Amino acid sequence: MKDHTNGTLQKPIHSGFDAKSTVHDVIQGIDLSGKTAIVTGGYAGIGLETVKTFARAGATIIVPARDIQKAENNLKGIKNVTVEAIDLMTPASIDAFAKKFLALGRALDILVNNAGIMWVPLQRDKRGYESQLATNHLGHFQLTARLWPALKKAKGARVITVSSYGHQMAPFNFDDPNFLTREYETLQGYGQSKTANNLFSVALDRRAKAFGVRAFSIHPGSVYGTDLGRVAPMALFQQMGTHDENGNLKPEVAAKLKTVEQGAATSVWCATSPQLNDIGGVYCENTDVAELDLGNIEHHYDDPMSLRGVQPYSVDAGNAEKLWALTEELTGVSFAVD
**Residue positions annotated with a catalytic role:** 190
- Cα 199 from Cα 172, distance rounded (Å): 9
- CB count within 10 Å of CB 145 equals 20
In the chain, the N- to C-terminal Cα span, in Å, equals 18
Sheet strand arrangement including 60-65: 81-85, 60-65, 36-39, 110-113, 158-162, 214-219, 282-285, 288-289
Q: How far apart are CA 18 and CA 265, in angstroms?
A: 9
Beta carbons of 58 and 36 less than 8 angstroms apart: no
3/23 Cα distance (integer angstroms): 31
**Cβ neighbours of residue 177 closer than 8 Å, sequence gap 6 or more:** 130, 133, 192, 326, 330
Angle, CA 223 vertex, CA 225 and CA 117 arms, to 5°: 80
Q: How far is CA 187 from the centre of its chain?
A: 17
60-65 and 36-39: which strand pairing? Answer: parallel
Q: Within 13 Å of residue 207, how many CA atoms lie on the same side as its CB? A: 19
Buried b (16+ CB within 10 A) or exposed e, 58-82: ebbbbbbbbeeeebeebbeebeebe
Taking Cα atoms as reference points, which of 129, 133, 36 lies closest to residue 84?
A: 36
